Amino acid sequence: MPSLYFGEGLVYIVVNTLSVVMYKKLGVSNEAIGQTSLLYLPWILKMFWAPLVDGRATKRFWIIITQALISLAIGGALLSLGTSWLFPLTLAAFVLAAFLSATHDVAADGFYMLALNKEQQNLYVGIRTLFYRLAMIFGSGALVYLAGKWESSAGSIAAGWMRVLGIVAAVYAVLSIYHAYVLPKPAEDKPLNLEGKSGSSVPLVTVFANYFKQSRVVVVILFIIFYRFGEALLLKMVAPFMLDTVANGGLELSTSQVGIVYGTIGLISLMLGGITGGVVLAKYGLKKSIWPFALIMNIPSLFFVYMAAVKPALPFVYALVAVEQFSYGLGMTALTVVLMASSKGEGKTSNFAISTGLMAIGMMAPGYISGWVQHSLGYTQFFTLAVLLCIPGMVLIPFLPKRIFSE
């Protein structure tokens, strides 16, 4: 589980966050950076090819082959940095990596539900979230720090980022080989249709019909979309905010300082948040935990309003990011349990893909316009709007069906 979910998280953060820092340092505008939220699209559309993953080959096979292909896609982005068309070419490579990553997610999440029983799933949800987030911190922390160091020593900004992408490509090559040897082979991991017969694909219409037959499915869908809505608006502009000059409303941190913020202090806080979230959920259950977790996850959005208005000293920025990472670790464990509770039956891999696809809609839509909104409002008012957008998801909690809290 640790290596599997590290592999799931790293490419996601490379495509959706590390690329933002890279583009900002290469002189791409905030408006153009906001439009890279279209890279979330594969995570939305994956619900349509999830039945193919369910019905063609094992989840284990899909995991290994997609990791190998992700390595090649990131290698393509690396080579594109040395050209005069670096923005469109790297973007194309990231689009390919995003589609491969979304397919990998379908297989990995399905494998998780097949290889572990219900008790194990609930117990390990904190570990799963922890290593997913460790990968994200590695991508947005350690790799960004290294990029900052290499920007000068390598002779150019592009050359420094080429080294970083080289590390990512190597990681996925190693993961593919490693998982080919050590990933377990559970008996349940076989091509299935909804009747449990091997060797045939899951009917797409049936998958969607079963998912949308859930009680209060509209509430479930709206909750999944809006739970992270405020964060989604904020997320694309966090790196530009930290890197932008004080004159433009930013904190004017260096690339390496941004890496330290998320790669050291954030890492420790994330570990505590992920582990704490799993323990609390296992002990008290989702019903008692979801409200506190939702509040704790969304409160840190206020910190960005404060940082934009006050421009605090670097140690205080470290402290605020530490709390933000801890809070995120707690909040995401609750959402993960909701997603699993809405994914049942023989087609649960495909159903889980639908749930995560809906979540990606909630990430892509506000992220796509974030650059334009920030440019129009400035950072302080932009982060204030992000705080307000945290409210709809919490308002929906009392209307979630009881089965979500009992399963």
| HEC letters along 131-147 | HHHHHHHHHHHHHHHHH
Residue 331 CA to residue 285 CA, distance in Å, equals 14
- CA quadruple 63, 67, 69, 74: dihedral sign: positive
Residue 187, helix vs strand vs coil: coil
Quick one: pLDDT at residue 201?
Answer: 47
- CA quadruple 83, 170, 332, 349: dihedral sign: positive
Residue 403 CA to residue 250 CA, distance in Å, equals 45
What does the pLDDT look like over 48-60, one tens digit per residue? 887 778 777 888 8
The residue type of 166 is G
CA trace torsion 198, 201, 202, 204 (10° rounding):
-170
Domains of the chain: 2-183+203-406 (1.20.1250.20)
* Nearest one of 235, 284, 273, 229 to 396, comparing CA atoms: 229
Residue 180 CA to residue 241 CA, distance in Å, equals 41
Ramachandran bin of 357, using left for φ above 0, alpha for ψ from -120 to 50, beta for the remaining angles: alpha
State pTM to two decimals: 0.71
Q: How many CA atoms lie within 13 A of 177 on its CB side?
A: 6
Residue 198 has phi, psi (to 5 degrees) of -85, 155
Residue 344, helix vs strand vs coil: coil
* Nearest one of 362, 364, 365, 338 to 352, comparing CA atoms: 338
In terms of Cβ atoms closer than 10 Å to its own Cβ (0-12, 13-18, 19+), residue 245 is exposed
Degrees to nearest 5, angle at CA 241 with 238 and 246: 160
* Nearest one of 51, 64, 41 to 352, comparing CA atoms: 51
Q: What is the DSSP letter of 202?
A: P
> From first to last of its 407 residues, what are the pLDDT tens digits of the chain?
889 999 999 999 899 889 988 998 888 888 888 878 888 889 888 878 877 787 778 888 999 999 999 999 999 999 998 888 888 899 999 999 999 999 999 888 888 877 777 677 766 777 787 788 788 778 888 898 899 889 877 778 888 999 999 999 999 999 999 999 998 888 777 876 544 444 444 556 777 777 888 888 899 999 999 998 888 888 788 888 998 999 999 999 988 888 877 666 776 787 788 778 878 887 888 888 889 988 888 888 899 999 999 999 988 998 888 888 788 878 888 888 888 887 765 567 677 778 888 888 888 888 888 889 998 999 999 999 999 999 999 999 999 988 887 75
* Nearest one of 262, 231, 221, 236 to 359, comparing CA atoms: 221
Degrees to nearest 5, angle at CA 81 with 162 and 91: 110
Residue 375 CA to residue 377 CA, distance in Å, equals 6
Residue for token pair 């997603």: 339
Residue 71 CA to residue 69 CA, distance in Å, equals 5
- The answer to whether 67 touches 104, Cβ cutoff 8 Å, is yes
Residue 181 CA to residue 328 CA, distance in Å, equals 33
Residue 308 CA to residue 151 CA, distance in Å, equals 26
What does the pLDDT look like over 115-166, one tens digit per residue? 777 677 766 777 787 788 788 778 888 898 899 889 877 778 888 999 999 9
- The answer to whether 50 touches 353, Cβ cutoff 8 Å, is yes
Quick one: pLDDT at residue 305?
Answer: 94
